[in-house]
Each structure stands twice: as C-alpha cells, then as structure tokens.
Structure 1
Amino acid sequence: MISQAARRPMGCLKTALRHSRQQKALLLRSMATETATPSSSSQLPDSTSTIPPPPPPTTGLPLSKLKFHTIKTNNPEKPIRTAFAVYPRVPSTRSTNPAALEAYHAQQIRRLDRTGARTALFSKTSKDSVRPGDVLQVSTNRGEPFAGVVMSVKRAGVDTAVLLRNHLTKVGVEMWFKIYSPSVTGIDIVWRKPRRARRARLYYLRKPKRDMGNVDHLVDAWRRSRNVFSSKGKGSATQGRPGKHAKLGKRR
C-alpha cells in the first residue's frame, strides 16, 4: 500500500509533463504559420501561366511506336478521362539467350543421329513414335539383341533412354538403353500396343498379375513376317544346281 501511494504522485507528474510538451508543440506550429511571409505565396505559378508538360519516360522507344490506351467518359467537355502508354512485351531471356546445355545437346544429337531417324522414333509430335506398351528389339555391338516391353521413355536430350522389360529363364529383367549411344546399332519395333496406355510409366508390369511375361513369341512372329527364317532363298539358290538324286533319276 505504501509503495502504491508513493507511485501515484510520480504518475501524475509524468502526465502533466506530457500535456505541457503537447501544448508547446501546438504553440510552435501556430506561431510558424502566423509568421510566414506572404512573399512565398506570390512565388507560386499563376493559374493562367503555361506549365510545360513533363518529359516522356526514357524507354528507348520512339513515341511513334508506343500505343496509348484511352478511357472515354460521357462528359462532352472532357471526352477522355485518362490515357496511358502501353509498352510492348519484353522478349524472354530464353529466346534471346538460349541455354548453353540445350545448344550442346542439339549439337551432339546432330552428330550422333545424322539422318534424324532415332529422334523421330522417340519424338512426342510424331504419330509413328514409340509409346509405352510397345515391344522393341535393340541391337548392340556387345552381344545378342535384347527385346522387351517399353516401360518408360526418359527424354533428356542426348541422354534420352528407354527402359525395356522381358523374362529370361523365368526371371524378370529390365535394361536401360540410350538411343543415341554409339554401341546401339539398331532399334526395331516388334509389336505395337493396340490401345494406347493411359500412363507414361508402366511400372505396374512388375506385379505378377500385370506382367506380360516373355515376349519371345512376338519376336518370332515378327521375324517370320520379315521372312528371316524362310527357305525361299535356299530353294532359289539350288534351282540351277540339280542334286545327286536328280542325276540318278536321269540315268535311270
């Protein structure tokens, strides 16, 4: 109680000092307005005097190429309410300065794929391009060709690759092939999916219920259609050379 009673006079004194400071500030403001010289008002520009318009903004374009957008009003004395300039769109940085990595990828693709066949085979805009679900056969200079279902196509410039899945000895095998690699000698479309897949990555083929299994039967049918194992060539080659049995028949 004694400490609260001692603080009250100090609080009242602070309030009184704050009020005195506010009154002093108001008094100084009023004195400054009264002592202002009328000569300052005479320096103001007259309403009848002509004021030059502000200079146009320095945008680097002449006024003839700028377009002005006007907002009209219903007032006949002032038909235009306001007008402002519409500047052209600034060109994008990518169009003016292409990325160095993209230019390098394009240069490498032109060097590795001079005919453009592989680029068109995996292009998004081409109708005959490879799609997920198709069966491809990739031939390399390191061993036998590998055939499998296209599970995914990774488009990354010169590093574009395709993921194939097949069964070897009843074991699922997946292999990535870079289409622009010098070791890849050929890419053939063995079988096309009748209906387009709804997904771009067919990772659900890893499940036993969805797995297509071995695709060797599709490869055999494709080879028969191309007459790879046909015997027409052998028959035509032996037509002009009669065999031993034919000679014996003539002697008889």
Structure 2
Amino acid sequence: MNAINFVHEQLTAKKQFPKFKAGDNVTVNYKIIEGSKERIQSFKGDVLKIQGTGFTASFTVRKISDGIGVERVFPLYSPNIDGIILNKVGKVRRARLFYLRERAGKAARIKEKRV
C-alpha cells in the first residue's frame, strides 16, 4: 500500500481547501470542458457525506434545483475542482445526512453553528 500512496503523492498536486464536514454549506467551482472551450460552473449545496482518505477521498453535495433534489459526488483532489468555498458551518450530529433526502422545505434545513 505504501507504493500506491507514494505514486499518488508524486502525481497529484495537493490543493489547499478549507476544512469542511457533513452539514456544511459549500460552493464547489468545477471546471467543465466542452470541446475546446473550458468554463467554471458553481455547485452550491449542503455536504451530505465525506468518504475515503488521502487522495481517493470524495464528498457528496446536495442542492434543490427547481424543486428537485440534485446530488453530485466530487473527488476531493480532482484536477477539475477549481476551488471550494465554505459558506456556512452546519450544526449536525451525524457524519452522513441521508435523512435529508426524504425531507423537504423547512424540515430539510440545517441549523447554522454559532461561533
């Protein structure tokens, strides 16, 4: 396993992202390549879970778009992630927030952690 980790460290440029966890509201700026054009698209939502460790870590972000829940999984160290912006720090007691899938409206809100 050390050989695999060594190769990952050599090939992947480690980016600096803010520390976030499940329940936080983040904006992920993601590069989209269409033919020869390249643009950055923002995906703003709540983090449902973070899974994996090291360079294979990924996180799931959920948002409501036109009344329909949309979830997207992002690899944390993907070269296509331009940046991650932490908008709000959520106050939750779970590491995986799958219960939000069945909830809508006010019931799906996450309380903001007061600093």
Shorter chain as denominator, the TM-score bin is 0.7 to 0.9
Q: State the one-letter code of the partner of 2:13.
A: L
Distance 1:182 1:101 in 2: 19
Q: State the one-letter code of the partner of 2:61.
A: L
Partner of 2:113: none
Partner of 2:4: 101
Partner of 2:23: 133
Partner of 1:82: none
Query: Residues 118-129 of structure 1 correspond to what in structure 2 (within 5 A)?
Result: 118=17, 121=18, 129=19
Unaligned 5+ runs, structure 1? 1-97, 122-128, 214-252
TM-score (norm 2): 0.75
| 8 A Cα contact 1:139 1:187, kept in partner | yes
* Runs of 4+, deviation exceeding 4 Å: none
RMSD of Structure 2 on Structure 1 (CA): 2.1
Percent pairwise identity: 28
Q: State the one-letter code of the partner of 1:117.
A: Q
TM-score (norm 1): 0.37
Measure how far apart 1:103 and its partner are. Answer: 2.1
2:13 equivalent to 1:112: yes
From 60, 63, 66, the counterpart of 1:166? 63
- In the alignment of these two chains, the number of paired residues is 101
Instruction: Select the structure that is richer in strand.
Output: 2
Measure how far apart 1:104 and its partner are. Answer: 2.3
Q: Which has the higher contact order (CA 8 A, sep 6+)?
A: 2
Unaligned 5+ runs, structure 2? 33-39, 111-115
From 84, 95, 100, the counterpart of 1:200? 95
Query: Residues 160-239 of structure 1 correspond to what in structure 2 (within 5 A)?
Result: 160-193=57-90, 195=91, 197-208=92-103, 210-212=107-109
Measure how far apart 1:139 and its partner are. Answer: 0.5
Measure how far apart 1:107 and its partner are. Answer: 2.7
Distance 2:10 2:53 in 1: 14
Secondary structure of the residue aligned to 1:204 is helix
